[in-house]
Each structure stands twice: as C-alpha cells, then as structure tokens.
Amino acid sequence: MPETQIIFYQEEDGTVPVVEWLKELKKKNPKGFINCLARIQQLQTSGHELRRPASDYLRDGIRELRAKHRNVQYRILYFFQGQNIAILAHAIIKKGSAVPNTDIEKAITRKNIFEQNPTVHTYQGEI
C-alpha cells in the first residue's frame, strides 16, 4: 500500500487551522503534541486502513484522528481526497463523550470548500 499524502487545509486568507492548533499545543502540552504527530504519522503510513483506537468515522466523509495524553483527548478531523490523500481540516480538545456537531459541521464545510478548489486550500509549509 502506498503512503498516504497528508495535506493541511488552508483558508483563503492563508491561515491553517490544524497547523496553528498544533503550534499552540506544542507550547502548552509538548507530550500531547508528540502524541498528535504520532497519529498523523500513523495516518500517513496506514491511510484508509487506520481504525480504532487511532481513528474513527464520524459522518459525511469526516473521520477523526484520536490522540490522548493523560486524561486529555485530542481530535484532528480529516477527510480523504481520492485513494491516498488525507486532508487535516479541524482540530479540538475533546471534553465530552462525543465530538460536538459544530466541530463536525466546520470540518464538513472545509471539506466542501477544499473540493471546489484544492490548490488554493492546500498548505505548502512546515508544521
């Protein structure tokens, strides 16, 4: 199985929500950051084959990468574009038992925007 390309969703104004979230997490909780990066690397290696506990399907093509450090649960919402491209669209620190619908809706909106113009919404920089 070929490696899955990981793309970070970028807004039209140049902001990159997941990268910004990861940078903030790195400052506040370096071990949580490392766990999130490990999950992203697992997604890159396993792609569509990644399942629970590392990943789970939410709805409407949106999946969640699941990372944890101590009692804090981190979620990075993503979707696939074709066979071997995963787009990381949104990230949260999960407080309740489920990912809030507002966060899923935000990821769905970003998925729809990305699909209309992938070039504009693909981040080219580093984390």
The pairing of strands 55-59 and 72-80 is unpaired
To the nearest whole number, what is the mean pLDDT of the chain? 95
Q: What per-residue confidence (pLDDT) applies to 97?
A: 83
Q: Is the pLDDT of residue 16 over 90?
A: yes
Please state the rounded mean pLDDT for residues 63-67. Answer: 97
Q: Is the pLDDT of residue 68 over 80?
A: yes
- What order do you get walking across the sheet with 62-69 strand by strand? 5-8, 85-94, 72-80, 62-69, 55-59
pTM assigned to the model: 0.96
Non-local (6+) Cβ contacts of 112 within 8 A are: none
Q: What per-residue confidence (pLDDT) applies to 33?
A: 97
Q: What per-residue confidence (pLDDT) applies to 2?
A: 82
